[in-house]
A and B are shown apart, each in its own frame.
Chain A
Amino acid sequence: MILTADLVIATAVAYVGLLFIIAYLGDRQTRTRTGGFLRSPFVYTLSISVYCTSWTFYGAVGTAARSGLEFLTIYLGPTIVFLGWWFILRRLVRISHDQRITSIADLLSSRFGKSSTLGVLITVLAVIAIAPYIALQLKAITSSIEAIAGSSEFGRGSLEGWDEVGLAFGVAAGMAIFTILFGTRNVDAKEQHHGVVAAIAFEAVVKLAALIAVGVFVVYMGGGMDSIFANAAAAGHEIHARDTFGDRWIAMTILAAAAVICLPRQFQVTVVENSDENHLRTASWAFPAYMLAMSLFTLPIALFGLSFMPEGSNPDMYVLTLPLAVGQDGLALFAFIGGFSSATSMIILESIALSIMVSNHIVVPVMLRLTSGTGIGDGQGVRRLILNARRISIILILFLGFGYFYLTRTSDALAPIGLISFTGVAQFLPAILASLFWRDASTKAAICAVLVGFVVWLWASFLPSFASSSPIVADIIANGPGGIGWLRPQELFGLNGLDPLTHAVFWSLFLNSTVLILGSLITNQSALEHVQAALFLNVFRRTRSEDSPIRGTATADDLFLVARRVLGHGRAVELFSEEAKLARMPWTTLEPSPAFIRRLERELAGSIGAASAHVMLSKVVSGDSVSLEEVMRMADETQQAIEYSQDLEKTSTELRATAEKLEEANRQLRKVDLQKDEFLSQVSHEVRTPMTAIRAFSEILLSESDLPRESREKFISTIHKESLRLTSLLDEILDLSALERGERAWENRPLDAEESLDQALRVCDALARQSKTKIVVESRAPSAYVKADPDRLSQVLINLITNAIKYNGAIAPEVTVRSRVRGKSYIIEVEDNGIGIAEDERGRIFDKFYRGRLGETGPYSGAGLGLPISREIIGRMDGKLDLVSSADEGACFRITLPLIAKPDAKAAQ
């Protein structure tokens, strides 16, 4: 098989025919609603891959050959954007869905008060900025055909006599026809590009397969990765040696990240054509993976080409010329189709996206201005006008691209041309970010900012690209306009030493953002801007808010007229009957509700853009926009709601902390409250028991007059005993409560604690003998001076020892008492050999009225105040009373008191 230009052109036409079939089938599939797979996240991802154009397919190898790893920035930037899909892309998709946004111009126009000026501006600038990019594709296709034509003697075939320009013109014309047939059959930009998307997805597969096929072939020919790198290094082509990671690396990464959001076609496929927000989840990794696969063989191809191809061959065409050079015509043809795929998909989508912007933001508004409110052409007028406007725009766009190609045809490389476009569309980025995240960004500031950024771009980036074809431009670059040095396009304000691309990116984006921020700070927003800003910012918060300030007294007839003109008869009837069904009345007498007008506006916006739809409906509904007061009122309401929720968010952390504190305090309070209840009920119980006995016996004594004397005396003594018990209980309660309040009814004075211990042991002796308990005094400190009250200290010791005796429960009960001096502390321990205190009781043993298991059920039931009182007393002596783990099973209480110096004899008295 001999490859000739005729053959490749025939193949290309056949390939286009195949695309048509795919697009047709795709459209039909969605129409019959069996097109499930066309709405899969993977088709969505593949359509996003239109990002990889012939710049990627051919140009990346060229960049790699010239500047090493630099080509990677074009893919790493978008990778970061897709990693962060949650923060930017998801918002864009949600907003565009809610507001039925049709293009990037529509997005900005809608956010900035439905400003038609901004829409026009963005559209015009986008068309200009994209021209170099279209030129790049034309150049790539032309060069690839030329490369094949030049590869053999008879290669030119019927191209004989055509030069490069003629060929490019032919390609542009062919593309224009193809795109018009493809993309302008329907009017609603929002809904009906499934066929195109299917074709684009198919092309994405073709170009990837072709590039990988060439890559694998090259690696095979070069003898593996390491030998390719080794040979290139030996020949002096070592990418490693180049200074790659400088300002240019940063600038290109930022540009690529901006471009994947701002390029009209990327916005179209990523945001407008998105049918399900969750597809972004898949695209967030699948699109970077796709770009990774596209870049995998770029370096080997470039390095192998550098060492294998003759000096002076165009590195941009290595993908094609390498297979040609070794006679692999089949592979070369496949590579050509791959490159053709990447170019056509870009041209088709870009010109569709741009043509929608042109018709919605320039043609329709002009038409509306030229006609009066009620005289908008005849029934089919608007639709036909829109379609024609789109067709003309496509032709215009392609031939702007051709024009740029013509003027700059002498420059060689593909990549720099693409970067000029990237820098141009990147000027939309500050406004887009502001629309997503900054409520106070104003329309005037946005317009100025985009304009300033664009002027800088025109001067510093666009203009210099004509230097090779125009001596005037070359002179301006060298000396500045009219010799004004600080206006030299690549050394603005005397800033030199930067790479020209970095220079342009820095000045344009810096001035752009500065104007946007300062401008927004010094201008005021209109009411409509306010509303729209709020809608954009709160896109994930609002449920169903008023998003159109159109209110009025239009009749259903008026509205129907408008709807029919824009949407077509069928869709209009559908809309209105639906509304009539909802309102349960014939639609001739329908009162259009604000919700319906809003819905209608969104429907119209899907066809003619938000700004035009708004103007159109405003005219019809009231012959005027809404009264200013009404708009202001709505704006205020929205404003208040927003501020309220923002305040909430701001203070939510604070609030949560406070709430936690409150909760904690509440828990404490509840606990204290419970404790109080328990205390009261305990006191009541403790008081009732002796009271019951006293009452019972008094009643007996009162009612029984014939009691024997001994019974009578016994009863009276019982009453007396119970009264004493009651008294001591009350004393204890008062004592404890005084102690707890921090009062101390005694004076601490220096004393020998050993003496108090002796005294306590003496007192307890009787009880011990009575209950057959052995008191073991293990070891004693010789003497220990502490500051305390002797009676109180004895009271505590007696309490501990009697507890140890009473609640012992062992068969051979034994209480061990020992005291010692440890450092500056004096320690007394009272330990018993009883059953001890269960683990779960240990924490509560010092609680008021808490009685251990034995205390509750044993023969001695105290009020359960002994231990808490003891602990309070020792605390007032600056000591501690603890329950410590004992060597045996029993309980062991330990008193620790601080030692003082032994006072002289007099003071001790």
Chain B
Amino acid sequence: MAIDVLIAEDEPSILEALDFVLKRAGWSISAVMDGEAVMDAVRREKPRVLVLDIMLPKRSGFEVLKQIRADKATSALPVLVLTAKGQQQDRRIAEELGADKFVTKPYSNADVVDAVRVLMGETGAVAAPPK
């Protein structure tokens, strides 16, 4: 079954907050907490958007992103990258690897929702929840 958003984030409290906010926006959510699990989850759950933290255990967000872009089946998946360091260099690397959007921690919930919405192709307020 396809879900709307897959979240890859290792901080439990941040994950909880994201989960709550994105569900509130009307999307179905699934989550993984380390880098190795992301690929499997993407293949299995076929999310429309991936929210990806860079500082992931086991396999970093960069590696995951590279893997996603290398795989034909997933190369078109829109990816929103969360950077904790908020540094130019991380951003640049993610951009080169093919990230579609960035949100820098600490973010406002609305920013994340807007970014995900843009990536879904639903613009602005007219977007209706897919359900």
A–B contact, 8 Å CB criterion (strictly below): yes
Q: Which A residues lie at the B interface, using CB under 8 A?
A: 681, 684-685, 688-689, 691-697, 699-700, 703-704, 718, 721-722, 856-858, 861
CA A741 – CA B89 in complex, angstroms?
A: 31
Task: Please provide the chain B residues from 68 to 123 with a CB less than 8 Å away from any CB of chain A in the complex.
Answer: 84-87, 105-110
B13 touches A721 (CB 8 A): yes
CA A409 – CA B126 in complex, angstroms?
A: 132
Given contacts A691-B105, A695-B107, contact A718 B24 (CB under 8 A): no
Residue pairs across A and B with Cβ atoms less than 8 A apart, 15 shown, are A681-B85, A685-B85, A688-B105, A689-B11, A692-B105, A692-B107, A693-B14, A695-B108, A696-B17, A696-B18, A696-B21, A696-B107, A697-B13, A699-B108, A700-B21
CB distance from A1 to the nearest CB of B (A): 99
CB distance from B10 to the nearest CB of A (A): 8
CB distance from B108 to the nearest CB of A (A): 6
B20 touches A694 (CB 8 A): no
A704 touches B84 (CB 8 A): no
B20 touches A700 (CB 8 A): yes
B45 within 8 Å of A (CB atoms):
no
* Interfacial chain B residues near A721, Cβ < 8 Å: 13
CB distance from A808 to the nearest CB of B (A): 16
CA A692 – CA B103 in complex, angstroms?
A: 11
B63 within 8 Å of A (CB atoms):
no
A688 touches B13 (CB 8 A): no
A857 touches B17 (CB 8 A): no
Q: Which of A685, A691, A704, A857 is packed against the most chain B CB atoms within 10 Å?
A: A857
B6 within 8 Å of A (CB atoms):
no
A858 touches B57 (CB 8 A): yes
Partner of B106, one of A694, A700, A856, A857: A694
Given contacts A699-B108, A857-B34, A858-B57, contact A693 B85 (CB under 8 A): no
CB distance from A733 to the nearest CB of B (A): 17
Given contacts A699-B108, A857-B57, A858-B57, contact A693 B84 (CB under 8 A): no
Tell me what chain A mostly uses at the interface: helix, strand, loop, or mixed.
helix
* Interfacial chain B residues near A695, Cβ < 8 Å: 106-108
B58 within 8 Å of A (CB atoms):
yes
A692 touches B106 (CB 8 A): yes
* Interfacial chain A residues near B107, Cβ < 8 Å: 692, 695-696
8 nearest interchain CB pairs? A857-B57, A696-B17, A693-B13, A692-B106, A692-B105, A695-B106, A691-B106, A699-B109
A688 touches B109 (CB 8 A): no
Tell me what chain B mostly uses at the interface: helix, strand, loop, or mixed.
loop
Task: Please provide the chain B residues from 22 to 46 with a CB less than 8 Å away from any CB of chain A in the complex.
Answer: 24, 34
Q: How many pairs of residues, A versus B, come closer than 8 Å at their CB atoms?
A: 61
A685 touches B55 (CB 8 A): yes
A693 touches B17 (CB 8 A): yes
Q: Which B residues lie at the A interface, using CB under 8 A?
A: 10-11, 13-14, 16-18, 20-21, 24, 34, 55, 57-58, 84-87, 105-110
B86 touches A692 (CB 8 A): no
Nearest-CB residue, chain B, relative to A690? B13
* Interfacial chain A residues near B57, Cβ < 8 Å: 856-858, 861
* Interfacial chain B residues near A688, Cβ < 8 Å: 84-86, 105-106
CB distance from B70 to the nearest CB of A (A): 22
Additional pairs, 6, CB under 8 Å, beyond known A684-B85, A700-B21, A856-B57: A685-B55, A688-B105, A696-B21, A699-B109, A857-B58, A858-B57
CA A586 – CA B107 in complex, angstroms?
A: 83
Given contacts A691-B105, A691-B106, A857-B58, contact A697 B17 (CB under 8 A): yes
CA A390 – CA B99 in complex, angstroms?
A: 93
B11 touches A693 (CB 8 A): yes
CA A689 – CA B24 in complex, angstroms?
A: 22
CB distance from B113 to the nearest CB of A (A): 11
CA A696 – CA B13 in complex, angstroms?
A: 9
CA A285 – CA B24 in complex, angstroms?
A: 95
* Interfacial chain A residues near B16, Cβ < 8 Å: 718
* Interfacial chain B residues near A861, Cβ < 8 Å: 10, 57
* Interfacial chain A residues near B21, Cβ < 8 Å: 696, 700
Nearest-CB residue, chain A, relative to B9? A692
Nearest-CB residue, chain A, relative to B17? A696
CB distance from B14 to the nearest CB of A (A): 5
CB distance from A715 to the nearest CB of B (A): 8
CB distance from B71 to the nearest CB of A (A): 23
Nearest-CB residue, chain A, relative to B56? A857
* Interfacial chain B residues near A696, Cβ < 8 Å: 14, 17-18, 21, 106-107, 109
* Interfacial chain B residues near A689, Cβ < 8 Å: 11, 14, 84, 105
* Interfacial chain A residues near B87, Cβ < 8 Å: 681
Nearest-CB residue, chain A, relative to B82? A692
B17 touches A704 (CB 8 A): no
A692 touches B85 (CB 8 A): no
CA A51 – CA B11 in complex, angstroms?
A: 94
CB distance from B11 to the nearest CB of A (A): 6
* Interfacial chain B residues near A703, Cβ < 8 Å: 109
CA A693 – CA B19 in complex, angstroms?
A: 12
CB distance from A349 to the nearest CB of B (A): 77
CB distance from A487 to the nearest CB of B (A): 92
CB distance from B56 to the nearest CB of A (A): 8
CA A721 – CA B86 in complex, angstroms?
A: 23
* Interfacial chain B residues near A857, Cβ < 8 Å: 34, 57-58
Q: Which of A685, A691, A694 is packed against the most chain B CB atoms within 10 Å?
A: A685
CA A684 – CA B21 in complex, angstroms?
A: 25
B86 touches A684 (CB 8 A): yes
Nearest-CB residue, chain A, relative to B108? A699
CB distance from B84 to the nearest CB of A (A): 5
A700 touches B85 (CB 8 A): no
* Interfacial chain A residues near B55, Cβ < 8 Å: 685
CB distance from B8 to the nearest CB of A (A): 14
CB distance from A156 to the nearest CB of B (A): 106
B86 touches A718 (CB 8 A): no
CA A704 – CA B21 in complex, angstroms?
A: 10
* Interfacial chain B residues near A704, Cβ < 8 Å: 24
CA A856 – CA B110 in complex, angstroms?
A: 30
* Interfacial chain B residues near A697, Cβ < 8 Å: 13, 17
CA A856 – CA B34 in complex, angstroms?
A: 11
* Interfacial chain B residues near A699, Cβ < 8 Å: 108-110
CB distance from B45 to the nearest CB of A (A): 23
* Interfacial chain B residues near A684, Cβ < 8 Å: 85-86
Q: Which of B10, B14, B21, B55 is packed against the most chain A CB atoms within 10 Å?
A: B14
CB distance from B96 to the nearest CB of A (A): 20
CB distance from A3 to the nearest CB of B (A): 99
A692 touches B108 (CB 8 A): no
CB distance from A677 to the nearest CB of B (A): 10
CA A224 – CA B55 in complex, angstroms?
A: 92
B11 touches A685 (CB 8 A): no
CB distance from B65 to the nearest CB of A (A): 17
CA A684 – CA B20 in complex, angstroms?
A: 25
